[in-house]
Amino acid sequence: MDVDAYRHVNNVVYYSYFDTAVNEYLIQQGVLDVDKGEVIGLVVETQCQYFRPIEFPGQVQVGLRVRHIGNSSVRYELAVFRDGDDTASAQGHFVHVYVNRASMRPTPLPPPLRQAVTALLVAG
C-alpha cells in the first residue's frame, strides 16, 4: 500500500509524513500527550502538491513551519525532501483544530502549545 507499481511512494503516505512531523514536534516540545492529554488536534483541512516522486526504499526529511495561529487552530505547512535533496518533492499543509478530548469541542490553545507553535511561525 505504501508504494505503487513503479516503486514510488503513494500519495496518501505523504499525509502520514505530515502527521508524523507535526505530532513528533509537539511531543518533543512536551505539549502533546496522545494518550491522556485534555487537548487534542483534529485535522480539518489538508492539501498536498507533488513535484517529483520519492522512490522506495529511501529516506525522507520533512520541513515544518507554522503559517497561522488562531484561537483554537493552527495551520502547519510542510515540505517533504528526498534525503540529501535541497528541492522539495512535495509540499502541503494541515489545519488542526484543537478540541477538548472529553467534549470534542474547540478549545483555546493552551499557553505551552501556543508557545511551541509560535516558535515555528513565519510571516506571510
Cα–Cα distances in Å, from 30 out to 13, 71, 112, 114? 26, 20, 8, 12
**Per-residue pLDDT at 1 exceeds 80:** no
pTM of the model: 0.92
Residue 22 included in any domain: yes
Task: Give me the domain span that covers residue 108.
Answer: 11-118
Residue 2 included in any domain: no
Write the pLDDT tens digit of every residue in 72-89.
999 999 999 998 899 999
Count of residues in the chain: 124
Write the pLDDT tens digit of every residue in 29-85.
999 999 999 999 999 999 999 999 998 888 999 999 999 999 999 999 999 999 889
Residue 124 included in any domain: no
Which of 53, 19, 26 lies closest to 115 in space, CA to CA?
A: 26
Residue 102 included in any domain: yes
Whether omega for the bond prior to residue 57 falls within 30 degrees of 0, making it cis, is yes
Domain count, the chain: 1
Residue 3 included in any domain: no
Residue 110 included in any domain: yes
**Per-residue pLDDT at 10 exceeds 90:** no
Residue 15 included in any domain: yes
Residue 5 included in any domain: no
At 98, which CATH number? 3.10.129.10
